Each structure stands twice: as structure tokens, then as C-alpha cells.
Amino acid sequence: MPLIANAAYFGTTGKLEVGTDEYTTSVTSCALVPNTPKAQTTDIGGGVTSFVGAAQWSAQITFKQDWSTANSLSQQLIAWHGTPKIFKYTPNAGGKVVTFTVIAEAAQVGGGANSIHEATVTLQIVGQPTFAAS
């Protein structure tokens, strides 16, 4: 059995793009999360059969709010609300690029005193993300 090498990485070189705009400097976290439906049935003889459906993905994006810069992610999510947008996420330089389409949603405005206002939005991915070399 071959030993499969592991090229683990420290999340410091990623990037997030929407169309021709890059939002890397505002994003503090981006995670694509699968939600996989599962079912199990037991027949009268005691046999168990398990089923796994297609993964339904969502993109959880945390970012620093910016209400001053034109086209900031904070402002664009409000402008795009309800429309499909194609995102490209590169978790680390030289790694795979993940492309996915979401239906955009507005995110949180504001936050606590004496803190950097961040927002987290969970966007439903339409279909499946695609993975390609960078």
C-alpha cells in the first residue's frame, strides 16, 4: 500500500474572488461545508442498508465590515442580495481553486463597542463546487 504524502498548510495565502474583484484583504475565514443527507433501513431479516445522498454545500464567509470603500464585500452582499454570483476560493497559494455559485445574501451590519466589526454569512451553494489546479 503506498504512503500518501500530506501537504498540510497554514492558512495565510488564500484568496477569494467574485467576478473581477478580489476580497482577500477583508476575509478572515472562508469554509465550504458539506451537508450530506443520510438514511438507514433495516430489513425484516436484520440486514442494514445505509444510503448517502448528494452533498449540499454552503460557503461560510467571515469578513471585516467596510462601509467606506466602494464595492466592499459588506456593501456588495447587500447589492447582490438574491442574485447568483460565482465565487472563486483558493485556500492556499499553489493549491486547488474552488469555484462555486451562490445566491447572495446580505450580511450583518455593525457589532460590539471597541471591536473590529466582523460579519459571517452562510451562502447556499447551487449544485456542487468544482476543483481545479491554480
pLDDT tens, residue by residue, 61-106: 999 999 999 999 999 999 999 999 999 999 998 889 999 999 999 9
Assess contact for 101 and 84: CB atoms under 8 A.
yes
pLDDT digits (tens, 9 = 90+) for 32-48: 999 999 999 999 999 99
Give the sign of the dihedral formed by CA 5, CA 11, CA 16, CA 22. negative
The neighbouring-strand residues paired with 16 are: 89
At which residue does the C-alpha cell 438514511 appear? 39
pLDDT above 80 (res 134) = no
Q: State the fold for domain 15-133.
A: Elongation Factor Tu (Ef-tu); domain 3 (2.40.30)
Q: Classify 87 as helix, strand or coil.
A: strand
Of the CA atoms within 13 Å of residue 2, those in its CB half-sphere come to 3
35 CB-near residues (< 8 Å, 6+ apart): 55, 56, 57, 58
